[in-house]
A and B are shown apart, each in its own frame.
Chain A
Amino acid sequence: MYGALWRVLPGPIWLKIIILLVLIAVVLYCLVTWVFPWIDGMLQSNEEGTVSV
């Protein structure tokens, strides 16, 4: 899978590495802004921190 991705990337090795780094940055950004908060909201037990009956 990742081997295929590496072969699909164009250009010399240094360009491939730069493209990969950019891809990783984009993926991380998406995870932190949307995916992780969403997962966190699903895991969160309701009313945490408060006292209620």
Chain B
Amino acid sequence: MHRVSCTLAITGLSARTGQRPLESRIVTDHEHPPDDLGLDDLFSSEGAEDLPGSSGGGGRRRRNGRRRGGKPRRRVSIVGVFGELLVTAGVLVLLFLGWQTWWQSGVLAAQQNSAAAEQSQKFLDQAKNEPTPTPTAVKQPDGTTKKDYGTPPVMSAPGAAQAFAVIYVPRFGADWKRTIRETVDVESVLNSYDAGVGHYSDTAMPGQVGNFAIAAHDTGYGNTFIDVSKLRVGDAIYIQTKDGYYTYRFRNMEYIQPNAVQVLYSVPQVKDAKATDRYITLTTCNPPYHAQERIAAFGVFESWQPLSAGPPKEIASTVGGN
């Protein structure tokens, strides 16, 4: 390239200055032959095949040339296709893994979160015109007073796969919320893009004396309960229903076998005991991405307040909106 432009410059100079063309001729004679050869070779054999519309001349010439050389070029080899299929399969597996972690945890989690916000708003709209019960002020041991709305109402069990509550756990994220549906059916509840948490239908309802037991995936399908193992003693678990907000406090957790149904007893882990208190139990899989074990997190009921009294302070910013 350098040589070509140099030639042109010199030729131009000679034309402008009106010098004898000898100089330029000398340069041209000297430069041209190798350039000619090189460029011709380059364009005719290498470029022609990839250039559209020119496959007739250059391409054929090249192929013929190859054949004369004795080795015909194989366009499609079985090994080559097989190799490409293997590479494709590998890429597909990687894509699937990426989809599982990114799509399911990120995109579905956001979807379930906004579905829960809608469900919450529905409860608030329904309860708009209901009268607010008058609370009684109760003196706390630390001197403050607390509003007490009395015994929590207990709703009747809803039909299968019906949404009846929204759960808020600030430890899982300031904006974290999920819809709770009746039963722990995998397809219609746990895998659902707009639910994620299921209620064991033979256990208590929110606020009922006994054990309100719920389940969710830990990884996949929104990573619903992935942070259960991060709960600390005293962490709040809020359940919002059409009746109000039920506040539970996390107490302890256990790693259990998948068949350890005793965590669902009305007093968790105690067979045939008659419950006098209100419990909540969260179950999910352990370890992440596997299902050999379960985690059961237990909490106890603390208080109840009607929807009209407004949400508990800790979740005030996330209730009813995004």
Contacts and interface: CB of A to CB of B under 8 A. Distances in A.
B92 A31 contact: yes
Interface of A is mostly: loop
A4 interface: yes
B186 interface: yes
Interface stretch (B39-47, B73-81, B123-131, B306-314): B73-81
Interface residues of B, number: 39
Contacts of A12: 52
Contacts of A50: 184, 190, 198, 200, 215, 283, 294
Interface string A13-33: 100000000000000100110
Given A32-B103, A39-B96, A49 B76 contact: no
Nearest to A36: B99
A52 B284 CA distance: 12
Given A49-B225, A49-B283, A51-B283, A1 B81 contact: yes
Nearest to B215: A50
A45 B75 CA distance: 45
Given A13-B50, A49-B216, A51-B215, 7 more contacts: A3-B75, A12-B52, A28-B95, A48-B217, A50-B184, A50-B283, A52-B261
Interface of B: 50, 52, 75-76, 80-81, 84-85, 92, 95-96, 99-100, 103, 184, 186, 190-191, 198, 200, 215-218, 220, 225, 256, 258-261, 263-264, 283-285, 291, 294, 296
